[in-house]
Amino acid sequence: MNNTLYDSVAKAGLPVTHVCEVGVYLPETSNVLGWVYEGIRTTLVECDPIIVRTLKEHFGNHPHVSTIDVAVANEPGTLTLYRTGASTFGSNVSASPAQINDGYRPDDKDAFTARAVTFDSIDDGSIDILSIDIEGGEWNVLRHMISRPQIISIETHGKRYVNPFKAEIEQWMRDNGYGTWYTDATDTVYRKGWKDPSVDRSPRTSLWKQIKKLIRGY
């Protein structure tokens, strides 16, 4: 569990009644697990049927948790995805962390299909906290969103990877009154109405690693 998002929102004293996570992976890795334990209404969106079964088994005794087994895309239909563990990605993205950082190439043996929907078919307009981590497809959530959450966490970077729709995401944030609250090793967290400087919460690279990077020229 990554507590950073939950702890940051709690410290800021923001009221939360509905959280949503798109791209959950395993229950223990959920970015919104703190709110699940609090009993806050939670919507989990996950497309991998193997993971969906795990989520439903794990959260089956939590009536405030809904698991929706679809992929979020720019248009409804079906989507082919490639199962690469926590980095499973859709064929509708031009670059994903698995491809850029791990050198993965799409392989039919890893492929599966999922029903695809636009996010407005899921979003009822009440989401306060939104976490999106769908390996390059995050823009497809924002562009069809009804809610205007207080906080939006998006995977935007990591090692050599940069979200292929980062420019569109940042423009949407500006147009809708969001500022960068903080960043970490992989995510940018935006806050509605935020105008103060952002904070870098990425793990600090050791001095020795910095020296090695300089020596190697990257």
Q: What is the pTM of this model?
A: 0.91
* Contact (Cβ atoms closer than 8 angstroms) between residue 71 and residue 64: no
Domain ranges (residues) in the chain = 4-216
pLDDT at 67: 97
Q: For 50-97, how does the pLDDT look when each residue is reduced to its tens digit (9 = 90+)?
A: 999 999 999 999 999 999 999 999 999 999 999 999 999 999 999 999
What is 4-216's CATH topology?
A: Rossmann fold (3.40.50)
- pLDDT for 213 beyond 70: no
Q: Using an 8 Å Cβ cutoff, are 161 and 101 in contact?
A: yes
- DSSP secondary structure letter of residue 121: G
* Residue 158 confidence (pLDDT) above 70: yes
How is 52-85 classified by DSSP, letter by letter?
A: HHHHHHHHTT-TTEEEE--EE-SSSEEEEEE--G
Burial class (CB within 10 angstroms; exposed 0-12, middle 13-18, buried 19+) of 148: middle
pLDDT score at 77: 98
Please give the Cα distance from 93 to 100 (Å, whole number).
Answer: 12
218 or 103: which leads in pLDDT: 103
Q: Which helix (H) or strand (E) holds 170?
A: helix 166-175
Name the average pLDDT for the chain: 93
Residue 190 pLDDT greater than 60, yes or no: yes
Taking the CA atoms of residue 202, residue 1, residue 66 and residue 44 in that order, the dihedral angle to the nearest 10 degrees is 30
Q: Are 70 and 116 in contact (CB under 8 A)?
A: yes
Residues 6+ apart with CB under 8 A from 159: 97, 100, 101
Cβ(153)–Cβ(42) below 8 Å: no
Pairing of strands 89-90, 71-72: unpaired
For 95-147, what is each residue's pLDDT tens digit?
999 999 999 999 999 999 999 999 999 999 999 999 999 999 999 999 999 99
pLDDT of res. 8: 96
- Of the candidates 48, 90, 116, 78, the residue with the CA atom closest to the CA atom of residue 99: 90
